[in-house]
Structures are given as C-alpha cells and as structure tokens.
Amino acid sequence: MLIAPSILTANFAKLEEELIKIETADKIHLDVMDGHFVPNISFGPHIARSISKVSKLPLDIHLMVTDPLFWIDQFVFSNTEYLTIHVEANDVKETIKKIKQANVKVGISLKPKTKVYDIIPYLSQCDLVLVMTVEPGFGGQSFMTEMMDKVVELVKLREEKGLDFLIEVDGGISDQTIDICKKSGVDMAVAGSYIFNHKDPIEAIKSLK
C-alpha cells in the first residue's frame, strides 16, 4: 500500500518540521481548494512551491477547484507526479490534455455522490483515480465504507479494459480503515489526521503500510 500523507492537517507554522516527520511516506498529498468547488480554502501555488522545494517526495496534487484548466501551469513543479482534477469540474477534457502536455500524470476524482460511470470516458487517459471516502473540503471526517463499492468496480473495469491506473482513496483513513481499503483493491491511501495527530508520524505511516 502506497501512503500519501495529506498536509491539510499539518501544522503550517512548522511546515518544514512536519515535512521531515513524513519523509518515509511514498508521496505528499496536497489538497488545493478554491472556496467555490468545495466550501473551504486551503492554499495556493506559493505554498505548494515551497513544499516542493523542501521535500524530495513526489507531489500528489489534488485540485478541488471549479476551473482546473486555469491552475495547471501554476502547480507543475519538478517533483509534481500527479495532478488530479474532479470529473465534476469544468473543462475536464481540455484540462487532461494540458496536464499531459506538462508531462505530469493525470488523476481524476469522484465525490461520494458521483458514479464511476461518469469517469469512464476519461479512464484510458488517466494514471490515477481518486475515490473520495468523505465529502471533500474538510479534514477529520468519518470514513464512508460504502465507497469501497466504487473501488471494486474500478478494479473490475481496469482488468476488463486492460488499463493500469492506480486507485487512490482519501478521507477517514486510519489503522482502523486501511484493511478494508486493501481488501477492496486500493493501491494508494491518503491520510491526514491519523498521521499528523499521531505522537509518532513515522510509526503511523508504518502501521498503514
């Protein structure tokens, strides 16, 4: 299981120290919120760029924004591995094209009420599918077990269509929920509160792996 700590729940007053604490992770997950697509604002390109300079880990950037096409260029750093947009956002086709032109891997995300059916037209172009296991916008929510049905469906689609995208989940991930994720077919898990609120973040990452 790949683990990508979400810095949304990190202590931003001591961000460099927080990043050092999670250096055993596989990726760093950045939740970018515009206050429109989701009812919250997190941070923009300036802080993301600072993170990219401090940490050597690949960046898994999740754009929870209404107009992702506008933002792509501003989040392409030397260690940006994934740029994930929502299928519910504007200009999905054009945004995917732009991400590919930037030589970054394409991710597409589903909110809890969105069906897997809605992303099928884009699956062949995606390197990652992010299944939200909480309503996007705020950290610390409870894991929605029923979202594992989407994971199982994606595993089946991946096999049937001969595709190789990773399946990622985000929301309510802890040592109590990681097992069902693995059994359902999840490849990568995003965890925020569980890791950064743990007395030993490295041990928290190890327990999830």
Q: Which residues are part of the catalytic machinery? A: 31, 170
| Three-class SS of 72-125 | HHHHCCCCEEEEEEECCCCCHHHHHHHHHHCCCEEEEEECCCCCHHHHHHHHHH
In sequence order, the β-bridge partners of residue 2 are 188
CB 28 within 8 A of CB 51: yes
For the chain, state the CA radius of gyration.
16
- For the record, the structure tokens of 40 come out as 């919250």
